[in-house]
Amino acid sequence: MSLQENGKEGGRKYRRMDLDTIEEDDDDDVCVSVSVSHPFQHNNGNKDNSHKYVMACAIFASLNSVLLGYDVGVMSGAILFIKEDLKITEVQEEVFVGILSIISLFGSLAGGKTSDAIGRKWTMALASIVFQSGAGIMALASSFTVLMIGRFLAGIGVGFGIMIAPVYIAEIAPTAARGSLTSFPEIFVNFGILLGYISNYAFSGLPSHINWRIMLAVGIFPSIFIGFALFVIPESPRWLVMQNRIDEARMVLLKTNENASEVEERLAEIKEAAGLNNPDKEDKAVWRELLNPSPGVRRMLITGCGIQIFQQITGIDATVYYSPTIFKGAGIKGNSQLLAATVAVGFTKTIFILFAIFLIDRAGRKPLLYVSTIGMTVCLLTLGLTLSLLGDSKYGIGLAILCVCGNVAFFSVGIGPVCWVVSSEIFPLRLRAQASAMGAVGSRVSSGLVAMSFLSVTRAITVGGTFLVFAAVSALSVVFVYKCVPETKGKSLEQIEMLFQNDRHWREGEVEIEDVKHLMEVQ
């Protein structure tokens, strides 16, 4: 393990714990090795095994995200046939599509408390069970009322799942690989969306009273893999420390880190963050601290909740849920052609999330956010102008598809995954679960409001006008990233906490917009 000192000004020194091994001489002085290994380079069998184990944990923890993604993707096509079969109105369509995000906020709020009570691992299990119940009820629904009952349960399950997976991965991952691994839930959301689009296209030829039920029922199958995952993944070591189960936490850290000296050092840091080394220190109630925050916690909340909200109010869920409506406005006719165009959107969204995995721990969080938000702004502006000026023309159709694909590509390479990475790593251990839940609530409320109002707004100001509004909001997100989001690449969770607590470190941690040049060089 190499040692790297950061933040030297002011006498504070940080040590990176994600590099090579420490060597000690006879005088117990530390000699720093000169080679720096990437988190996915394997120098020996033990390191190789630890990385594989952490990777497996991240993958299994992200499976709930497939359920959310599948629901988002499949609903864009299934709703066309639900309207035809159950004769629901346009207002009922908006409520049905958007209510999942609103209801999920209750799951997210409960998820913070639940994960602190029963653990991160079993909260993921609870999320899966509740979502599967809702999906089953929706698939068998014979009326709009029953359909909404299933949607309510699915929303609760989604709320649990979206807040706990990034928290769990951030707490179990080594520092150097945390960004890549914490982006896994967003990758699996994209994979689920793609599966939903493919399911729409595959079953669209069946009778309308059967096809949408099969589309929704297919989403139940991932529960088999989630059940298997519970026998593989361990509990979060940081949660185990909070429960004073120190030996169990040490065992988990031994599996996820390659040497014992690093394990003991990380364990000491976690105990310090959890307050176990200062048992007599008065501990404020978590919610009291969140509702009446210190300056440092206030900065964390602004950053964490703000980036979650901007992720949604730039219109990504409207683009995904209502992509057939967008393409219809551009001039594409027929359900099969509309659903085929959405499959192209799904492939684009899934492919570009892979770029984020590669870049997030190399280029950093903030450069990716700049590229993402600026690119989305350009695509949304162009889409709004295209739908307003070139609708129903050959060039209009091609440009609209290109802009929608470009928008989801820029979203997937930046603010989509980085949002969850940043919001899961900036909060201190004692606040992490419930503060992340607050951020997830902001995300879900924003998503629900956008999805539930999209059709009504498009009737008032046209589809093109609506996307011009999204473009303006996306431009504001660029300013937010510049002002409120510090760079967290390469820092341990405890170092990040200090970054927010100290004004000088906060200013030094900022990455200026010119650093996007570095990202371009990496690409």
Q: What is the CA radius of gyration of the chain?
A: 23
Whole-number pLDDT of residue 73:
80
Element (H, E) at 52: helix 45-61
Asked if the model's pLDDT at residue 472 lies above 90, the reply is: yes
Asked if the model's pLDDT at residue 396 lies above 50, the reply is: yes
Q: What is the pLDDT of residues 335-366, one digit of tens each?
A: 677 777 777 887 888 788 788 777 777 777 88
Element (H, E) at 30: strand 30-31
Alpha-helix runs per DSSP H in 119-183: 120-140, 144-172, 178-182
Length of the chain: 523
DSSP-assigned beta bridge partners for residue 30? 24
What is the mean pLDDT of the segment spanning 5-25?
40
CA–CA dist 64, 228 (Å, integer):
13
Q: What is the pLDDT of residues 443-464, one digit of tens each?
A: 778 887 887 788 888 889 888 8
Asked if the model's pLDDT at residue 253 lies above 80, the reply is: yes
Higher pLDDT, 321 or 14: 321
What is the mean pLDDT of the segment spanning 45-55?
72
Higher pLDDT, 375 or 288: 375
Asked if the model's pLDDT at residue 519 lies above 50, the reply is: no
What is the mean pLDDT of the segment spanning 268-275?
71
What is the mean pLDDT of the segment spanning 157-185?
77
Q: What is the pLDDT of residues 172-193, one digit of tens each?
A: 877 667 667 777 887 888 788 8
What is the mean pLDDT of the segment spanning 36-43?
40
Whole-number pLDDT of residue 202:
85
CA–CA dist 411, 187 (Å, integer):
12
Give the pLDDT band (50/70/90) at residue 276.
Answer: low
Give the pLDDT band (50/70/90) at residue 281.
Answer: very low
Q: Which of 204, 214, 162 is nearest to 342 (CA)?
A: 204
Whole-number pLDDT of residue 451:
79
DSSP 8-state class, residue 462: H
CA–CA dist 360, 418 (Å, integer):
8
Beta carbons of 488 and 365 less than 8 angstroms apart: yes
Q: What is the pLDDT of residues 80-122, one digit of tens each?
A: 888 888 888 878 888 888 788 778 778 877 877 788 888 888 8
What is the mean pLDDT of the segment spanning 488-496?
72
CA–CA dist 166, 417 (Å, integer):
10
Higher pLDDT, 503 or 497: 497
What is the mean pLDDT of the segment spanning 492-511?
61
Residue 3 tokens read as: 């040692």
pTM: 0.64
Q: Which of 523, 442, 431, 434 is nearest to 480 (CA)?
A: 442
Higher pLDDT, 8 or 268: 268
Q: Alpha carbon of 244 to those of 115, 240, 501: distances in Å? A: 16, 6, 26
